[in-house]
C-alpha cells in the first residue's frame, strides 16, 4: 500500500492527544523529580507500541469495508424520504465506525453523521430520512467512514464511491396516499367530508334488482312490471368532466411556509387533485400563468396522463413579477373549449390586490365553474392568539386582525359574484381542495 495514501487516511483521535498530553506531563514532573523520569520513558515506549499496533490493525486490509447507498430513483418534495446504506465489515475483529454520507448541498447539513459498531464480518443496513423542500436535481457524494479499533488512538478514513444525482419531484407520496384512500372509499379517514348528493344529477348506469336501502324514488316501474320484481335505476357520477388546475407563477406564490413555498403546496395539491380526478373518470389538465408564456397540459382521462402532468410540474418556478390575469383569460379561451372546473391557486393578501384582478376572474366564471384558492397567513393566526402585553404587541395584533379581516372580505366579495373560494392554511390545502372538488360533483355544478 502506498505510504502517502496511508498517511492521508490517518486521523488522530482525541484519546491520542489526551494520552500524549499525559505523557508530556509525566516527563515534566520527571524533570523536577528524577525518580519519575524512567516511568515517563516506559509510558512513552508503551504508548508508541500501542499506537503502532493500532495502525497495523487498521491497515491490515486494503479494502476493509464494502457497501452502497440504496436511495429511491426520485425523491418526494415536502415528504420524509428514506435513504438506506448497506455496509459490510471485512475486518476479522470488531470496529467502531462513524458514517458521514455526503448528502446534497440543498439540505445545508454540515455535521450529518452517526456512529455504529460492527462485529467481525458483520453486514448492516442503516437508514435515515431526508425531507427536501425544493424541486430539482440533488447530487449525492461518497460515503465516508472513519473506523477505529477498541484501542481508539487512530481512526482510518475510508471512502466508498457512491456519487449519484436524484431528482426531487412534486409530492408523489402524498398523491399515492390520497389515491389509496380514494380507491378504498376511505377518504373520510383523512378529513375529506362525505358530501350529500342533491337529486339525480348523475349519469344513468344500469337497472338492477331492488335491495333494502335503495332509494325508492329510483324504482323503474316499467322494468318492475316486465320482471315481476322490484327494479331500480342505478346511477353513477357524471364522467369525462374537465378538472383543470391553474397555478399562479407570480411573486405572490414565493411566500414560504414550513420550508416550502406556496407554489410547492399548489404543485403538490395539483398532482393529488389530477390523480383523484382521473380515478373518478374525469379529465385532468394543467395551466400555469405569469407575465410570460404559460405551460399548458390539455385535459385527458388516460391514467398515464398523470405522468405528463408530473413532468410539467417538476420544472415550475415562480417569477418575481406580478402575474398577468388577462393572459390567463386568453389562454383558457384558446385551450379549454368546454365548461370546466377551474381550480385557481393564487394568493391575495389585501382586498385591493383582489379588486385589480376581479374583472378577469368574473370573465372566467362566466364560462367555467371557478374556484379561487388562496392561503391563510398562519403566522398572522399565531399573532391573533397571543396575549398583548405592551403597546407594541397591541399595534402588531391590530395589524394582524386587519389583514385577517381583509381575507374574509375577499371571500365574501368573490362569493357574492358567484365565484367559489377556498381560504386554507397551506398544510390543509390538499384535503380542502378534494372536498371542494367532490362537493362540485355532488351538486352537479361542473
Fold exhibited by the domain 1-169: Immunoglobulin-like (2.60.40)
- The conformation of residue 193, written as its DSSP 8-state character, comes to P
Query: Within 13 A of 93's CA, how many CA atoms are on the CB side?
Result: 13
Once rounded to an integer, what is the mean pLDDT over residues 40-48?
Answer: 89
- 71-112 tens-digit pLDDT: 999 999 999 999 999 999 999 999 999 999 999 999 988 777
Instruction: Give the class (CATH, top level) of 172-196+238-442.
Output: alpha beta
- The conformation of residue 219, written as its DSSP 8-state character, comes to B
Q: Identify which of 173-177, 282-286, 434-438 has the greatest average pLDDT.
A: 282-286
From-to residues of CATH 3.40.50.410 in the chain: 172-196+238-442
- 291-311 tens-digit pLDDT: 887 899 999 988 889 999 999
- 378-404 tens-digit pLDDT: 777 777 777 878 888 788 888 888 888
The pLDDT score that the predictor gives to residue 191 is 59
From-to residues of CATH 2.60.40.10 in the chain: 1-169
**In a 10 Å sphere around its CB, with 0-12 CB exposed, 13-18 middle and 19+ buried, how is residue 27 labelled?**
middle
Under 8 Å CB-to-CB from 72, ≥6 apart: which residues?
81, 82, 166
Which parts of 216-320 fold into alpha helices (H)?
221-227, 262-279, 305-314
Under 8 Å CB-to-CB from 52, ≥6 apart: which residues?
none
The pLDDT score that the predictor gives to residue 5 is 67
Strands 369-375 and 420-424: parallel
Under 8 Å CB-to-CB from 206, ≥6 apart: which residues?
233, 234
Please identify which residue in the block is written with the cell numbers 388562496.
Answer: 374
Amino acid at each position: 500500500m502506498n505510504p502517502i495514501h496511508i498517511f492521508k487516511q490517518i486521523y488522530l483521535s482525541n484519546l491520542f492527544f489526551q494520552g500524549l498530553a499525559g505523557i508530556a506531563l509525566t516527563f515534566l514532573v520527571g524533570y523536577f523529580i528524577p525518580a519519575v523520569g524512567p516511568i515517563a520513558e516506559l509510558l512513552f515506549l508503551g504508548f508508541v507500541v500501542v499506537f503502532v499496533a493500532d495502525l497495523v490493525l487498521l491497515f491490515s486490509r486494503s479494502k476493509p469495508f464494502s457497501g452502497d447507498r440504496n436511495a429511491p430513483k426520485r425523491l418526494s418534495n415536502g415528504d420524509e424520504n428514506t435513504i438506506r446504506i448497506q455496509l459490510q465489515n471485512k475486518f476479522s475483529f470488531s470496529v467502531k465506525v462513524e458514517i458521514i454520507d455526503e448528502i446534497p448541498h440543498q439540505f445545508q447539513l454540515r455535521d450529518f453523521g452517526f456512529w455504529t459498531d460492527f462485529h467481525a464480518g458483520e453486514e448492516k443496513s442503516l437508514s435515515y430520512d431526508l425531507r427536501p423542500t425544493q424541486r430539482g436535481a440533488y447530487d449525492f457524494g461518497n460515503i465516508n467512514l472513519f473506523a477505529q479499533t477498541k484501542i481508539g488512538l487512530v481512526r482510518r478514513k475510508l471512502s466508498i464511491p457512491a456519487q449519484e444525482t436524484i431528482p426531487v419531484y412534486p409530492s408523489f407520496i402524498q398523491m399515492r396516499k390520497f389515491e389509496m384512500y380514494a380507491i378504498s372509499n376511505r377518504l373520510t379517514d383523512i378529513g375529506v367530508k362525505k358530501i350529500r348528493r342533491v337529486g339525480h344529477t348523475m349519469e344513468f348506469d344500469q337497472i338492477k334488482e331492488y335491495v333494502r336501502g335503495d332509494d325508492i324514488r329510483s324504482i323503474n316501474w316499467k322494468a318492475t312490471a316486465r320482471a315481476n320484481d322490484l327494479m331500480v335505476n342505478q346511477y353513477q357520477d357524471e364522467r369525462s368532466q374537465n378538472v383543470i388546475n391553474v397555478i399562479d407563477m407570480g411573486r405572490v406564490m414565493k411566500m414560504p411556509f414550513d420550508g416550502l413555498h406556496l407554489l410547492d403546496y399548489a404543485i403538490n395539491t395539483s398532482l393529488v387533485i389530477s390523480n383523484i380526478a382521473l380515478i373518478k373518470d374525469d379529465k385532468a389538465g394543467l395551466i400555469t400563468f405569469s407575465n410570460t408564456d404559460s405551460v399548458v397540459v390539455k385535459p385527458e382521462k388516460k391514467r398515464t396522463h398523470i405522468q405528463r402532468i408530473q413532468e410539467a410540474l417538476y420544472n415550475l418556478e415562480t417569477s418575481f413579477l406580478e402575474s398577468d390575469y388577462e393572459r390567463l383569460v386568453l389562454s383558457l379561451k384558446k385551450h379549454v373549449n368546454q365548461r370546466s372546473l377551474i381550480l385557481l391557486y393564487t394568493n391575495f393578501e389585501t382586498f385591493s390586490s383582489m379588486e385589480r384582478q376581479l374583472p378577469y376572474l368574473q370573465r372566467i366564471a362566466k364560462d367555467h365553474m371557478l374556484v379561487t384558492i388562496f392561503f391563510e397567513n398562519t403566522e398572522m393566526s399565531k399573532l391573533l392568539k397571543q396575549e398583548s402585553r405592551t403597546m407594541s404587541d397591541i399595534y402588531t395584533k391590530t395589524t394582524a386582525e386587519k389583514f385577517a379581516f381583509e381575507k374574509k372580505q375577499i371571500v365574501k366579495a368573490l362569493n357574492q359574484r358567484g365565484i367559489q373560494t377556498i381560504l386554507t392554511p397551506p398544510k390543509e390545502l390538499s384535503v380542502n381542495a378534494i372536498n371542494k372538488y367532490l362537493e362540485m360533483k355532488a351538486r352537479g355544478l361542473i
